[in-house]
Amino acid sequence: MQSRVAALVVACAVGSSWALSVITAPDVEAHVKEEMQQNIQIHDTFQSQEENDVRAEGLLKASTDMSALQTHAHAAIFDVCQGITCGPLTCPGGFTATSVEGHCCQYCVNPNIKLESEVTGPTNGVDSTFCPNVRCFPTLCAKTETMPNDANGLCCPECPA
């Protein structure tokens, strides 16, 4: 019986030492040092790839089969106003006939008329001075507006009744 126990102990010892040798990784320190000594220039790889791409592009441009894909059915640039006849233009006082880029015919333009700036904000409203989070808009009252103040409790100008 003791011989069986001894054999079992020896088998376990041999098996565990074999398992330890299998589990541990091989020593790669020498391999790492060898790789560090190499002069690897990764940009050389990219340079060769770029040269291959340029060569392939040149072959495509030189190919008569591929050049057929680059032709257009019509001329690239043509006059869109060709064949358009503009009617006679008589401008009222202060206006002059003016050519506008991108248009075929002239327009009557008065240089003295200045256009107001575009509407800003929601219909050109402004923040209320007296009430937070309130916007006041033009009233277009026919009579004099009642202006807001601390005494009347209004947030915005109001039309009289």
Q: Encoding tokens for residue 97? A: 């006939």
Q: Which of 51-55, 120-124, 132-136, 150-154 has the lowest mean pLDDT?
A: 120-124
Strands (E), the chain: 96-98, 107-109, 126-127, 135-136
Rounded Cα gap, residues 110 and 119, in angstroms: 22
Q: Is the pLDDT of residue 43 over 70?
A: yes
| pTM of the complete model | 0.28
Rounded Cα gap, residues 161 and 143, in angstroms: 9
Q: Please classify residue 128 by burial: count the beta carbons closer than 10 Å to its beta carbon, then call 0-12 exposed, 13-18 middle and 19+ buried.
A: middle
Q: Which of 11-15, 107-111, 127-131, 155-159 has the lowest mean pLDDT?
A: 11-15
Q: Which of 16-25, 118-127, 142-151 has the lowest mean pLDDT?
A: 16-25
Q: Is the pLDDT of residue 5 over 90?
A: no
SS3 43: helix
Report pLDDT digits (tens) over 89-145. Answer: 999 989 999 998 889 999 999 988 888 777 665 666 888 999 998 989 888 888 899
